[in-house]
Structures are given as structure tokens and as C-alpha cells.
Amino acid sequence: MSTLMNTYGTRTLTLTKGEGSRVWDDSGKSYLDAISGIAVCGLGHAHPALTKALSEQAATLLHVSNLYNIPQQQRLADLLIQVSGMEKVFFSNSGAEANEAAIKIARKYGNDRGVKNPSVIVMANSFHGRTLATLSATGNAKVQIGFEPLVEGFIRVPYDDVAAVKSAITEHKNIVAILVEPVQGEGGVRVPAADYLNQLRAIADQHELLLMLDEIQTGNGRTGTYFAYQHNGLLPDVVTTAKGLGNGMPMGACLARGKAAEVLQPGNHGTTFGGNPLACSAGIAVIETLLSSNLIARVKVLGDKLLADFKTALAGNPKVVDIRGKGLMIGIEMNAACPELVQKGRDLGILINVTAVNTIRLLPTFILTDAEADELVSKVVQLVNEF
């Protein structure tokens, strides 16, 4: 009997080693990694820059707490500001915690302005995490059932529906923020209309709401720009990120700008581990590597190529409902539930994910070679054609 809580059911695959875009199991079988630890290992496995930064920092100083000045934290914050256009950073240990910081900013922003019961607009099909506030913000009953009472102060509208946001604001006088994913990840790789974020930006400006983007999955180069909002030429008031930021070191960040950047003051928020020297040394290595190797441009090229290749290879397959994506976030929606494709992929030597019941989700590394990209397409096309 396992002594682990049964949160993930029985897991049948044991991975023991990784290098580049490939991982190996305990029997020595290798797999092309098209999930990257759920959009985490954009730089792949055992990247030399990460290994060097982490081993040097581990041999020097792991942790001191936020009672002290941490130069690595300052350096990583400066880099994040440089790549984002935001102004201030709070470091956390996970995505959910980054969103908790964002939700606290929204509430205090509202309370400071005298709004009674300040509320945040959130979207159907969204995913924001598993803590009580973030599961309450999440638009998926499966995440919420059994954990009632939910945290109050969220008003839900359909995703990619600007009119619904406008009517929610007319109806509720206590709205202080909009929290939204630029592309919904867990929700099935949903890409909204090209000007959706621009329209939300205009609404937020008009009503003095905070536009808060959950870029936990879309950030750190995943969609072909450092943050996905950069495709829209705008700035949010708050943006959260995690996953790819540490390439496997658990860490997250909440970035803010303008009035949102001044909301949290000493005593309002904190964390023991967040932004510790080890985690930040990983974050620094990730951003420096992304910038110096021009990898984010490669993400766009690779993503466009994969999408085009899938559309060509799967054209006319009646079981394929839609093929969509942005950068290296790609979804292939099937006409029926397809969870068995995960195991079939393992048999073929590829790790994929199925989300929202019927959507194959691909989140490969940014360092895929052209040959690995072709291997990915041919294996996934085989899985789909045999479905």
C-alpha cells in the first residue's frame, strides 16, 4: 500500500532520467517529452545552464528567508521587469500562490477605495489552482465539488465573451478586477479572439478595474512571446506566472504595475520560502538562456510549423473536431473522450496529455530539434488516426 495520499490515483510510469527533450523510465525505455512536466521544462531536461546555476547556488546558500536582502531575488525581479514591462514583483512557490497574491491585491485595491465586498470577474472553463481561493476562481465544478463553502467574491462569465463582461459590470457595482487566462490551458487550449484582451483592457480602463492575467502556463515564452499579452501590445495591471519560470524549481511570481503595484504594504503578505536564493538562481538562468539563445522566436516558428503540419496531416479525419494553439501550446480536440491516448502514446514512446476530456494537449520543450518536431507530429498523427 502506498503511503502517499491518493490525489493522483495509481501512477504506472516511473521516470528516472531526462536529457534535452527526452526522458527515460526505470526500465531504460525513452520517450519524447511532449508535455514538459505540464508546461514547466521549456528548456528541456538537464539543461547545462540550469545545472550549473543550481549546483553553484546549492553549494553557496540555499535559503535565508525574506527577513534579509536576497541579491538573486532582486536580479530576477529586474529581469522579469525587463521582459514584461511591469513594475514590481512578489515571488511565491507555485502558481496558485501567485494567484492568491493577485486576488489579495484585487480585494485590497477595492477595499482601499471603499468598495463593499469587492469582487473579481472570472471565466467559465478557467483554471487558477487548488487552494481555496483559486479553486473558487476556477471555472470547473470537478475542482470545486466537496470543498464548499467556496470563497466568495467571484462573478463568472463565459470565456471570450466581451458582452458578458460588460453586462456583469452593469449588474454588479462591486467589481474591482478581471482575472483571465490569455489562452485557457487546462480548459482545453482555448485561444480567444485576437482582440479579446484588448477589449478587456479598454473595459478595465473605463471602469478603473484591474486587468489581471493568469500567465502561469502561457508565460515564460510558451506562446512565442515572453508573456502572451505581448501579442496584443498591451500591459495588464497584474500578471501571474509560475510553471516555466523555474524550469522545474518550484516557484511563481505576481507582477504588478501602476496603482496595483502599490497595494501591498509591509505586513499585508508574505512567504517563508518564496524567492529564495536557490529558486531565484534557476529563474535567472531560465530568463538569461531564453534571451541569449533567441529561443522564444524559435517557439513561434516551431509552434506555427507543428500546427500547420497537424492541420495538413489530419485534414479530413472525421474524428478531429479542431486543431488550435499558440506557440508551443497545442490542442487537438477529438469528437469523443480520449483518455486512453495517454497510454497509447507511452507505448509509442511519446508523453502527451489529454485535458478537458477530449483534447490532446501538447506542451513540448522549446529546444525540440527539427527531427524531434517531425517525430512528434508523426507519432501524434498515428495516435489520432488509430483512435
Ligand X SMILES: *Cc1c(COP(=O)(O)O)cnc(C)c1O
Part in contact with ligand X (CB under 6 A); list of ranges 65-73, 122-130, 155-163, 284-292: 122-130
Max distance between CA atoms of the chain, in angstroms, equals 61
Stretch that binds ligand X, among 101-109, 112-120, 121-129, 281-289 (CB under 6 A): 121-129
Residue among 18, 37, 129, 275 that touches ligand X (CB under 6 A): 129
Stretch near ligand X under the rule CB under 6 A, chosen from 48-56, 94-102, 146-154, 219-227: 94-102
- Cα 323 to the center of its chain, rounded Å: 20
Binding residue for ligand X, selected from 217, 276, 359, 365, defined by CB under 6 A: 217
Query: If you search the block for the grid coordinates 515572453, which residue do you land on?
Result: 226
Strand 320-326: give its sheet, edge to edge.
320-326, 329-334, 359-362, 353-355
130 among annotated binding-site residues: yes
Q: Does 128 bind ligand X (CB under 6 A)?
A: yes
Residues 220-279 that bind ligand X (CB under 6 A): 242-243
Task: Consult the annotation and say whether 105 binds a ligand.
Answer: no
- Minimum distance, C-beta of residue 84 to ligand X, in the bound complex (Å): 17
Residue 187: which of 218, 225, 209 has the closest Cα? 218
CB of 73 or CB of 99, closer to ligand X: 99
Element at 76 (helix H, strand E): helix 71-84
According to the annotation, is 214 in a ligand binding site?
A: yes
Ranges assigned E (strand) in the chain: 15-19, 22-25, 30-33, 88-92, 119-123, 154-157, 175-180, 210-214, 238-241, 252-256, 320-326, 329-334, 350-351, 353-355, 359-362
Give me the 130-169 binding string for ligand X, x by CB under 6 A, dash otherwise: ----------------------------------------
Helix (H, G, I), strand (E, B) or coil at 103: helix
Among 33, 100, 181, 333, binds ligand X (CB under 6 A): 181
Whole-number Å distance between alpha carbons of 246 and 274: 12
CB contact at 8 A, 21 and 365: yes
Handedness of CA 351, 355, 357, 359 (dihedral sign): negative
Considering the complex, what minimum distance in angstroms separates the CB of residue 213 from ligand X? Answer: 10
Q: How far is the CB of 216 from ligand X (least distance, A)?
A: 4
Of 32, 35, 83, 96, which lies in the binding site for ligand X, with binding defined by CB under 6 A?
Answer: 96
Q: How far is the CB of 76 from ligand X (least distance, A)?
A: 17
| Residue 56 known to bind ligand | no
Smaller CB separation from ligand X, 96 or 101: 96
Residues 34-93 that bind ligand X (CB under 6 A): none
Cell of 287: 530568463
**Binding flag, residue 325, ligand X (CB under 6 A):** no
Query: Residue 169's Cα: distance from chain center in Å?
Result: 27
**Residue 214 touching ligand X (CB under 6 A):** yes
Residue 284 to residues 107, 192, 290: CA-CA distances in angstroms? 31, 31, 10
Q: Which is nearer to ligand X, 94 or 289 (CB)?
A: 94
Q: How far is the CB of 183 from ligand X (least distance, A)?
A: 9
Residue 169 assigned as binding residue: no
Instruction: For the CB of residue 97, give the shortest distance to ligand X in the complex, in Å.
Output: 7
In the block, residue with C-alpha cell 497537424: 310
- Binding site residues, ligand X, CB under 6 A: 94-96, 99, 127-129, 181, 185-186, 214, 216-217, 242-243
